[in-house]
Structure 1
Amino acid sequence: MNSLQDALYNWLTIKVVIDERPDDTAAVETEKTFYDMLKDDHSLTNIEVTKDDEMYYVHFDHEGERKKQRFPRELIEVMLNQINQQPERYRNYPI
């Protein structure tokens, strides 16, 4: 099982992609898998994301407490930036 921080990082990275590319079926499926891991493996609820100029913040409830983790935008947006720089390598293949 991944650490909570790893699971949040993986989910947030792909969530940022589907926010920009909601029709990307592979990204949508991957985001669902990571989201389910957050809920099922780490027992998170009420997961929300905010951001500012430098950071993404993931707010969530865990074991009755409201918690927050932060991630640098440049780290989270790496995959999205790669897709935008080379869209021909990341074509959407509908099911």
Structure 2
Amino acid sequence: MKSLQDAIYNWLTIKIVAEARPDDKAAKETFDLFEDILVNEFRLKDIHIQKDDVMYLVNYTIDGEAKSARFPTELIEVMHNQINQHPEKYQNYE
């Protein structure tokens, strides 16, 4: 993955899904993949998330330098909302 912004977006989006669906093996595996990309490819450490009504704020460090990324809540939660609206399309197969 070439863009750190895209990697954080994908990681956060699937993190929300994986936390809401703890028995969903595919969501967990996808979350683990994106977390590995953030940690090993982009060297992120100390990742913390804050959420308010409008935005998600992801704080992290790279090579000791504090950085952050912001994403609209609606954008991050779209996948989770789709799953909740159409659960028949997102069955958990083991």
Q: CA RMSD in A?
A: 0.8
* Equivalent-residue separation in structure 2 for 1:2 and 1:35 (angstroms): 15
* Equivalent-residue separation in structure 2 for 1:24 and 1:2 (angstroms): 27
- 2:45 pairs with 1:14: no
Deviation for aligned residue 1:63: 1.4
Deviation for aligned residue 1:49: 1.0
* Equivalent-residue separation in structure 2 for 1:44 and 1:61 (angstroms): 6
> Which portions of structure 1, spanning 4 or more consecutive aligned residues, are displaced by more than 3 angstroms?
none
The secondary structure found in structure 1 opposite 2:23 is coil
* Equivalent-residue separation in structure 1 for 2:13 and 2:79 (angstroms): 7
Which blocks of at least 5 consecutive residues in structure 2 are unaligned? none
Residue of structure 2 equivalent to 1:41:
41
Deviation for aligned residue 1:66: 1.4
Residue of structure 2 equivalent to 1:74:
74
The secondary structure found in structure 1 opposite 2:58 is strand
* Equivalent-residue separation in structure 2 for 1:55 and 1:22 (angstroms): 24
C-alpha deviations, 1:21-78, integer Å up to 9, x for none?
1111100000000000001110001111110000011111111111111100000011
Could you say which structure has the greater relative contact order, defined with CA pairs below 8 angstroms and 6 or more residues apart? 1
TM-score by length of 1: 0.95
Residue of structure 2 equivalent to 1:84:
84
Q: How many residues align?
A: 94
TM-score by length of 2: 0.96
